[in-house]
């Protein structure tokens, strides 16, 4: 009989210990979740902005290849003078006649990124026959670090 009473006490203690362990595990998980959220929110991450300060942040140098099969390639480099990387840089390429009137135009996007204080290559096929071309940067998405 003594063993039976001890058994009852042992089962009650085990039930108490199991509940206590489960609560400890849940509290531990909550603490780790809170820690993870704090680390993710507090760490520097990438962000996006449409504008970054005043002035012309980008320059373009280009040249047109010889015409072939009714097309010409306007190729060059986009220079990023800002201390942040530019993504999705958009260009507007216009073919001009001898008097400077627009004969044709098209938009294009520079592939990849234009690194901060760096440059990237572009090449845009256009209709041949223009006297000269005008290449304009019409937009870019600026990538910045939240610590700036």
Domain count, the chain: 2
Domain limits for position 105: 48-145
CATH code, domain with 98: 2.60.40.1620
Q: Are residues 71 and 98 in the same domain?
A: yes
Tell me how far apart the alpha carbons of residues 119 and 113 are, in angstroms, rounded to a whole number: 9
Q: Would you say the pTM of this structure is higher than 0.85? A: no
Q: Are residues 98 and 27 in the same domain?
A: no
Q: What percent of the chain has pLDDT over 70?
A: 59
Q: Are residues 26 and 91 in the same domain?
A: no
Q: Where does the chain show beta strands of DSSP type E?
A: 46-49, 58-64, 71-80, 85-96, 102-109, 113-114, 119-127, 132-145
As given in the structure block, the two tokens for residue 119 are 């440059």
Return the pLDDT at 50: 36
Q: Are residues 38 and 56 in the same domain?
A: no
Q: Are residues 70 and 140 in the same domain?
A: yes
Q: Tens digits of per-residue pLDDT, 65-110?
A: 999 999 999 999 999 999 999 999 999 999 999 999 999 999 999 9
């Amino acid at each position: 009989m003594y063993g039976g009473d001890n058994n009852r006490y042992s089962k009650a203690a085990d039930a108490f210990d199991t509940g206590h362990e489960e609560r400890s595990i849940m509290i531990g998980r909550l603490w780790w979740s809170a820690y993870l959220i704090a680390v993710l929110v507090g760490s520097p991450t990438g962000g996006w902005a449409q504008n970054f300060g005043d002035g012309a942040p980008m320059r373009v140098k280009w040249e047109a290849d010889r015409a072939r099969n009714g097309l010409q390639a306007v190729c060059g480099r986009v220079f990023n003078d800002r201390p942040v990387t530019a993504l999705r840089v958009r260009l507007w390429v216009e073919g001009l006649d001898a008097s400077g009137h627009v004969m044709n135009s098209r938009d294009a996007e520079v592939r990849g990124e234009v690194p901060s204080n760096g440059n990237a290559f572009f090449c845009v096929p256009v209709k041949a026959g223009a006297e000269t071309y005008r290449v304009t940067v019409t937009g870019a998405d600026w990538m910045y670090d939240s610590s700036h």
